Amino acid sequence: MRHTEFWARLDHALGPASSRSWAELFVIGDLGGRTVVEALDAGMPPKQVWAAVWQVLELPESQR
């Protein structure tokens, strides 16, 4: 998964007006206690970050 696909999925899940703020503020334990932005900036693969986001947001299987 590329970063552009990751952000498109997050925009779809949370709405473009909220997704960036949420990604900067919400800390996820499965990302090592980091936010989405921190995890991506640290070099974590977008696919791994998306898996954590998907789980936290309890998104449907179709969005996995």
pTM above 0.85, yes or no: yes
Q: Quick one: which of 32, 9, 62 has its CA closest to 22?
A: 9
Q: Please report the sign of the dihedral spanned by the C-alpha atoms of residue 7, residue 13, residue 14, residue 17.
A: positive
42/21 Cα distance (integer angstroms): 18
Buried/exposed code over 1-39 (b: 16+ C-beta within 10 A; e: otherwise)? eeeeebbebbeebbeeeebeebbeeeebeebeebbbebb
Over residues 11-64, the pLDDT tens digits come to 999 999 999 999 999 999 999 999 999 999 999 999 999 999 999 999 999 888
